[in-house]
């Protein structure tokens, strides 16, 4: 089951998930072995839930190990569906098309201000900045670059036919960036901070990973340099 987006969780749901996580951690500390019906009844009492619900949350926490895995979901919500109402989602996408995808290359901060103004005008609470950024990333990068007049980025997305050969290890090392499929949380209050970026360096000849760099910052020359610095 997919976890909800961290920035779309309200404080009430988050605090309740933290309470459940603390109770489950303490339960697992006391009872590290296999669980039986008596132990599940004990956990259900601490969680103030039915035995079936307690068992389900215990299973989710063992599989995910995060507070996010315990955040409640509204009945009928599709797995992986982003927890944002249709009205605000439509405003974000409309403003991206109207304002952001232009040749004058407006900044993300400027887009956030436009979205917030449109939401307030419609009587809606402005969405989190990370939600808006996520909708930008939903737009195909080639279409985004073309609309914003970024020919270098657009060209980099076009596959060029050909053959690339190397004869020995470390003759050519390729570097790529991807968002890791995990959430980083604050070590004290367990609030999610976001998904980190993973930069990998791979030797073309051997296909072996020669180095990596993990950071919360978006890919840059710095992350590439630090990845190479750690290669060897």
The tens digit of pLDDT for each residue in 14-55 reads: 778 778 888 888 887 777 667 777 788 888 888 888 888 888
pLDDT recorded at residue 96: 94
Tokens standing for residue 67: 């507070």
What's the CA gap between 139 and 93, in Å, rounded?
Answer: 9
Tokens standing for residue 81: 């569906």
Out of 60-69, 102-111, 120-129, 172-181, least confident range? 60-69
Helices then strands, each counted (H, E), the chain: 9, 5
With 0-12 / 13-18 / 19 or more C-beta atoms within 10 angstroms meaning exposed / middle / buried, residue 134 is: middle
* Whether residue 81 has pLDDT greater than 50: no
What's the CA gap between 208 and 201, in Å, rounded?
Answer: 9
Domain 86-156 top-level CATH class: mainly alpha
pTM over 0.75: no
pLDDT recorded at residue 101: 94
Structural domain boundaries in the chain: 6-70, 86-156, 173-229
């Amino acid at each position: 089951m997919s976890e909800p987006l961290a920035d779309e969780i309200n404080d009430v749901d988050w605090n309740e998930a933290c309470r459940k996580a603390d109770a489950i951690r303490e339960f697992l500390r006391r009872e590290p072995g296999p669980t039986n019906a008596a132990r599940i009844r004990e956990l259900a009492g601490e969680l103030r839930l039915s035995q079936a619900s307690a068992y389900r949350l215990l299973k989710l926490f063992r599989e995910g190990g995060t507070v996010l895995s315990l955040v409640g979901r509204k009945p009928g919500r599709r797995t992986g569906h982003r927890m944002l109402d249709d009205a605000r989602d439509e405003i974000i996408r409309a403003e991206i098309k109207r304002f952001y995808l232009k040749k004058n290359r407006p900044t993300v901060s400027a887009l956030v201000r436009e979205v917030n103004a449109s939401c307030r005008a419609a009587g809606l609470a402005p969405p989190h900045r990370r939600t808006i950024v996520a909708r930008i990333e939903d737009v195909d990068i080639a279409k985004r670059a073309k609309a914003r007049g970024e020919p270098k980025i657009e060209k980099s997305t076009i596959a060029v036919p050909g053959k690339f050969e190397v004869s020995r290890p470390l003759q050519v090392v390729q570097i790529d960036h991807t968002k890791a499929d995990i959430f980083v949380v604050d070590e004290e209050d367990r609030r999610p901070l976001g998904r980190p970026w993973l930069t990998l360096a791979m030797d073309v000849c051997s296909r072996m990973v020669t180095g990596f760099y993990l950071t919360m910052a978006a890919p840059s020359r710095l992350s590439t340099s630090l990845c190479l610095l750690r290669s060897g």
